Every structure is written in structure tokens, then in C-alpha cells.
Amino acid sequence: MSQLSFSGPGQFRGTCTPPGDKSISHRALLFGALADGESQYENFLEAEDCLHTLEALRRMGVEIGHEKGSGRICVLGSGLGGLRAPANELYLGNSGTSMRLLLGILAGQRFETVLTGDPSLSGRPMRRVTDPLKRMGAQIRGREDANFAPLTIRGGKLRGMEFDNKLSSAQVKSALLFAGMYAEGKTVIREAIPSRDHTERFLEAAGARFRKTGDQLIIERTEKLLPLQARIAGDISSAAFFIVGAAMREGSEVTLQDVGLNPTRAGVLEVLKRMGARIVTQVTQTVPEPMGNIYVRGARLKGTGITHREIPSLIDELPVLMVAMALAEGESLISGAAELRVKETDRIHSMVGNLKAIGASIEELPDGSLVRGVDGFHSATVQSFGDHRTAMSMGVASLATKGTILVQDTDCVATSYPSFMDHFRGLTGG
């Protein structure tokens, strides 16, 4: 089991281009597989999670060209009905997105599939997806009423339904939008607080029978999807480690290039600006996904509050935002973030424990954390808990540490950001 040693204090200085967006890369593969014809993408994220989706699709007969290290993929789709039953179970590693989105697609297939994952994924709740899919007509079996993988799914004749996405989960919404393309009648999804809208953008670009009216998403049985060509935007969730690290350390100055700036994902920038961060964005592309450069200069930040309305737009950035909050002047409160407890690990527990170990003044709340800023951190050995974002966030904390933070069990970084350490060293000059 590997470990990473981060010695501080330090600053981030320089330019970095984060890897392709994880959420968009998964969807690029899935939409490519269901389209009629050849889709081509550049800047595909070659990280473990997305490679699990790729492998699962290949095992269902989809031809995917991928030259390792090039970021280019070419997906030869054979239509919405073109998937074939895999010979064995599909192992999806640590990837919740692969499992939940594939369930939506498999609900519309006429064969049986078994989906499995690593111990973390096997402990993550799936009823949020399996319950509504069963209501649409899919047969799904698994532990505790199909709440936990391994899950066995047999698709069938689906019927549309109305669904209130109370958790504001993009994975649940996306699974139902996929299933809705196979269902008789309309599937209507309501979302009071919008979650990331990448799936909707793909549906529109690929010509699905999909529309948005107010807070309603309406999908109808779709016969055909068009193949797409696109360059995938850089992942703001990966860029966030360097954006937050630079923003919270005076003397830092970084440029993050070609980062996705989709408003449903960019909450981290709004929160940092509220904390007094010096951030300027320059938009270079608006369709299919907004993208641009982000310039950040370090400053002493002040505390702020984050409540439930903002959570979906920054859910994956909360661990690293907790690091900035632990250093910001005054109090910071995160509430309405209970979803953090069912991510790759319980991220409230992992981050509060780790930040306490390096000297932060932080308290764990059922749905968030309360922190009073300190001037700096001290050396300690901390755990990733097998979670990539916890591991990388603790690396960022080392910028404000006199001494060394040793993060244990860091293989998980490859889940979303295999080049993280290269980029970290590039920006710290060490």
C-alpha cells in the first residue's frame, strides 16, 4: 500500500492543465456506445473510474479505440439496442458513477447483468437508483432490497414515470434519463436544487427526445442517438485542489487552463470569492460545455457558510474547501451536506479526523462541519480512508504545514487524477 509525504510550508506558482472531466468522460463513453455510428473525443480522463466504464462497455460488445496516454477515444456505437449480454459479471472498481449510470442503461436491455465493485462501492447506497428503476419495470436483485452491490439487473419493458429528485443526485437523475429513452410514455424528473447537467447536454446534442421546462426534465422513448465529436473540458473537481490551495496561501499565483466552467459545477469558485479569494475566470468556449482559464492569487481568506442549496454545485470540492476553511479567519459552517457521508468514504468523518490530527479546530456535525480558523497546521500521519479526494486534500493542507503530512494508502488517487503528484510537484517546484 503506497503512501505520500508532503512537506510544507509552500505555495503554488505556475500553470497547470487539469485532466479531462470525470463526469463528462463517463458520459462520453456511454452516449458513444448508444449512438448510431462513431463518436470521437479528445481529452478523455484516463483514470481508473472511467476505464471501468470503458471496460464494461467493451464486455457488452462495444468497440472502443483507445491509445493509452493519448486522451483520444473513438467509440463505435451500434444504437440504443446494440449492447450484448456480457459473458461474466461487470466489475466497476470504486466507481459509483459507472454503477448508477449503467443501471439506467441496463434497465432497458433484454438481458441479465451482474454489477460488482470494490468494498467501498459495495457499501454505497443503490436503492436511490434501483427503487425508481424497479418502478419503471426493471427487475433488480441485491443485498437489502437491492441497496448494495453485487446487483443483478434484468431489463424489460419499461414505462415512464414522474420522479422527484430530492437528493439532487446527478447520478440518479442520469440513470432515469437513460432508462427514460427506453420507456413507453414520458419520464418526468423534477429537481428543486439543480445537480450537474452534463447528461442533459449530451441528450440535447445527440438529438434525444428530451426537453426542459422550468424545473422539469422530460424524456420520451428515443429511437436513435447521433454520434458526437468533442474535446472534453478539464475537470474543475481536479483543478479545485490547486485553485483552493493557491487561493488560501499568500504568495501563490496559478493559472489553471481549459477548465470546465459549467455553472452546475462551479460553486467552489463562488464560495472562495465570498471568502475573499482573488480569482478571475476567462471563458474560452460555451458549447457543448462552458470552459476557460482560471487565474488565482493567494490571500488570507475569511470564514463563510455553505448551506444545502449550494451543495450539489460543489459536492466533490467540499473536502478541499474544508482545508481552506480550517485556515480562514473566523468561523465557517458547512450544513446540508449529509451526502458526503455516502461518497467513496464518509468524507465528513475522514476530513474532520485528518484536519484535527494536523491541528485544526474543527467539529463534526451530522450534515457538515463547524470550524474556527487557525494560522497553520503541524506534522502528522493521516489516512486516505481509500478516498482519492481525502488523500489529495491532505496534500493541499501541507502548504500551510510546518513539517510533513504523511498520507497513507494513496493508490486511490488514480481513481480520478493519476497525474496529481506531477502537477503538485510542478506547482510547488519540488
Task: Pick out residues in 194-213 that bind ligand S3P (CB under 6 A).
Answer: 195-196
Among 44, 6, 40, 8, which residue's Cα sits nearest to residue 25?
44
Considering only residues 53, 97, 222, 410, which one is a binding residue for ligand S3P as defined by CB under 6 A?
97
User: In the bound complex, what is the minimum distance in angstroms from residue 17's beta carbon to ligand S3P?
Assistant: 21
Number of residues that bind ligand S3P (CB under 6 A): 11
Please select the residue that binds ligand S3P; options are 11, 16, 23, 181, rule is CB under 6 A. Answer: 23
| Nearer Cβ to ligand S3P (27/249) | 27
Q: Are 267 and 308 in contact (CB under 8 A)?
A: no
Residue 315 engages ligand S3P in binding (rule: CB under 6 A):
yes
**Minimum distance of ligand S3P from residue 233's CB (angstroms):** 13
User: Shortest approach of ligand S3P to residue 170 CB, angstroms?
Assistant: 3
Give the shortest CB-278-to-ligand S3P separation in angstroms: 27
Q: How far apart are CA 370 and CA 361, in angstroms?
A: 9
Query: Taking contact as CB under 6 A, which single stretch among the options 54-62, 164-172, 180-188, 258-266 is the one that binds ligand S3P?
Result: 164-172
**393 interacts with ligand S3P by CB under 6 A:** no
For the CB of residue 140, give the shortest distance to ligand S3P in the complex, in Å. 18
The span of 67-75, 166-174, 351-359, 420-428 binding ligand S3P (CB under 6 A) equals 166-174
CB of 208 to ligand S3P, least distance (A): 17
Judged by CB under 6 A, does residue 313 bind ligand S3P?
Answer: no
What mask of x and - would describe binding to ligand S3P in positions 333 to 352, judged by CB under 6 A? ------x-------------
The residue behind cell 510550508 is: 9
Instruction: Say how many C-beta atoms besides its own lie within 10 A of residue 145's C-beta.
Output: 13
Label each residue of the chain as H, E or C. Answer: CCEEEEEECCCCEEEECCCECHHHHHHHHHHHHHCEEEEEEECCCCCHHHHHHHHHHHHCCCEEEECCCCCCEEEEEECCCCCCCCCCCEECCCCHHHHHHHHHHHCCCCCEEEEECCHHHHCCCCHHHHHHHHHHCCEEEEHHHHCEEEEEEECCCCECCEEECCCCCHHHHHHHHHHHCCCECCEEEECCCCCCCHHHHHHHHCCCCEEEECCEEEECCCCCCCCCEEECCECHHHHHHHHHHHHCCCCCEEEEEEEECCCCCCHHHHHHHHCCCEEEEEEEECCCCCEEEEEEECCCCECCEECCCCHHHCHHHHHHHHHHHHHCECEEEECCCHHHHHCCCCHHHHHHHHHHHCCCEEEEECCEEEEECCCCEEEEEEECCCCHHHHHHHHHHHHHEEEEEEEECCHHHHHCCCCHHHHHHHHHCC
Give min distance, CB of 99 to ligand S3P, in A: 11
Calculated CA dihedral for residues 28, 34, 39, 42, nearest 10 degrees: 10
Residue closer to ligand S3P (CB basis): 176 or 206: 176
Asked if residue 130 binds ligand S3P (CB under 6 A), the reply is: no
Instruction: Report the residue number, 253 or 270, with the smaller CB distance to ligand S3P.
Output: 270
Q: Which of residues 168-197 bind ligand S3P (CB under 6 A)?
A: 169-171, 174, 195-196
Q: By CB under 6 A, is residue 98 in contact with ligand S3P?
A: no
Q: Which of 21, 316, 387, 409 is catalytic?
A: 316
Give the nearer residue to ligand S3P in terms of CB position, either 11 or 23: 23
The answer to whether 335 touches 310, Cβ cutoff 8 Å, is no
| Least separation in angstroms between CB 173 and ligand S3P | 7
CB-nearer residue toward ligand S3P: 59 or 388: 388
Per CB under 6 A, the list member of 46, 118, 191, 316 interacting with ligand S3P is 316
Is residue 235 within the footprint of ligand S3P (CB under 6 A)? no
Verify whether residue 411 is a known catalytic residue: no
Q: Does 25 bind ligand S3P (CB under 6 A)?
A: no
Residue (258 or 316) nearer to ligand S3P, CB: 316
* Spatial separation of the C-alpha atoms in residues 28 and 384, rounded to whole Å: 29
Contacts with ligand S3P by CB under 6 A lie at: 23, 97, 169-171, 174, 195-196, 315-316, 339
Kindly list the catalytic residues. Answer: 316
